[in-house]
Amino acid sequence: MPLDTCFTLREGNDITLVSWGAMIKETLEAADTLKEQNIECEVIDVACMNPLDHDTILSSVAKTGRCVIIHEAPKLRSRR
C-alpha cells in the first residue's frame, strides 16, 4: 500500500472524518453511530503524515463542506 496516499474507508456526503492509526476504529464506530441519525460520514485514513495527501482530504471537504479531525493526543496539564 502506498504511504503517500490517504485512503477513503467510507463514502459520505454530510461530513468528512479524518483520522489515522489507532483512532480509525473509533472513527468508524462514530460514523456508524451518526449513520443511525441519517448523517453520512466520509472517513479518510491518513496513511502517512509526511508526505501528507492534501488532495484527497481537500477534495472530500469540498464535497461535504465539513471536517472533523480525530486524533489521539494526551491532555496537557497546566503548570502551576
10-residue mean pLDDT profile of the chain (80 residues): values are 87 97 95 97 93 95 97 77
- Specify the pLDDT at position 37: 97
- Specify the pLDDT at position 71: 92
Q: How far apart are CA 75 and CA 65, in angstroms?
A: 28
Per DSSP, the three-state class of 15 is strand
Under a CB-based contact definition with an 8 Å cutoff, are residues 72 and 23 in contact? yes
- Report the predicted TM-score, pTM, of the whole model to 2 decimal places: 0.87
CATH, domain 7-69, list 1.20.1250.20, 3.40.50.10860, 3.40.50.2300, 3.40.50.920: 3.40.50.920
- Specify the pLDDT at position 80: 65
Residue entry with cell 479531525: 69
DSSP state for residue 36 in the 8-state scheme: T
- Specify the pLDDT at position 76: 75
